Amino acid sequence: MKNRILIVDDSFYMRTMLKNMLTDAGYEVVGEAANGQQALEMATATRPDLITLDVILPDNTGLDVLKGIRQEQPEVKVVMCSAVGQEVIVNEALESGATAYIVKPFSEEKVLEIVGAALQDASSDQA
């Protein structure tokens, strides 16, 4: 079965690019959220295997969303998307349960590598 992914990013451009990369690689993108509230709602509604989560979002910070999702779905893998210079937030995110992080601007290979590895974790955990 295809792994199901939810994309959270406030930029339509970023979402489109991620969606294309992931879909081309054979993942199923189950939803796209543009802000924290949408992200929480869609995470509940779609129960994805993995979420790509932008660090800066309009309403909440990405961190609040991460904590919200973690409470409800401890098993979901979360890959933080950040930019250079946000190491502090990224560290806090990893401490709060993020699985991995990608630094923008990212290449297709990098995204697939990190997403693939994060999901690998998932299957080995379950095994």
Partner 1 sequence: MKSREQEYREIFMAEALEYYDAMSRHISELERNPGDEPALNELFRLMHNLKSNARAMGYNPIGEVAHHMETIFGLIRDKEKTFTGSVVPVLFGGIDTIGEMIRAVGENEDLPEVRRLLDNLDRLVKGEEPNLEDEEEDDDEDVSRKLELSDLVYIQVRKLDHLMNLVGELIIDRDRILTLSKEIGSQALTTAAAHLSRIADELQYSVMDARLVGVGSLFSKFPRVVRDVATAEQKDVELTMTGEDIQIDRNILQIITDALLHLVRNAIGHGLETPAERVAAGKPAQGHLLLSAQAERDDVLVRVQDDGRGINVESVRRKAVERGLVSAAAAAGLPDDAVRAFLFEPGFSMAKEVTEISGRGVGLDVVKLAIDSLGGQLRVSSVLGEGTTFTLVLPTSIAVKGALLFELENRNYAIPLMHTDSVVSLLPEDFHVVGGLLLTRIQDENVPVVALRRLLHNGDGPLPPAVKADLSGRQDIIIVNYNNRRLGLIVDRFLRQQDIVVKPMSKPLDTIDLFGGVTLLGSGQVCLVLDVPALTRLFLAKRP
As measured in angstroms, the least distance from the Cβ of 77 to partner 1 is 22
Q: Is 87 in the site for partner 1 (CB under 8 A)?
A: no
Q: Is 44 in the site for partner 1 (CB under 8 A)?
A: no
Q: For residues 10 and 49, which CB has a smaller minimum distance to partner 1 in the complex?
A: 10
Query: How many DSSP H helices and E strands does the chain contain?
Result: 5, 5
Helix extents (H) in the chain: 12-24, 36-46, 62-72, 87-95, 108-126
Q: How far apart, in whole angstroms, are the C-alpha atoms of residue 7 and residue 10?
A: 10
Among 64, 67, 73, 83, binds partner 1 (CB under 8 A): 83
Please count the CA atoms within 13 angstroms of the CA of 2 that sit on its side-chain side. 12
Q: Judged by CB under 8 A, how many residues of this single chain contact partner 1?
A: 15
* Only segment of 39-47, 50-58, 62-70, 94-102 that touches partner 1 (CB under 8 A): 50-58
Q: Is 17 in the site for partner 1 (CB under 8 A)?
A: yes
As measured in angstroms, the least distance from the Cβ of 11 to partner 1 is 5
Question: For residue 105, is the peptide bond before it cis, meaning its omega torsion is within 30 degrees of 0?
Answer: yes
The answer to whether 40 and 65 are in contact (CB under 8 A) is yes
Among 67, 106, 116, 121, binds partner 1 (CB under 8 A): 106
**For residue 82, what are the β-bridge partners?**
103
Q: For residues 17 and 122, which CB has a smaller minimum distance to partner 1 in the complex?
A: 17
- Applying CB under 8 A, the residues found at the interface with partner 1 are 10-14, 16-17, 20, 56-58, 83, 104-106
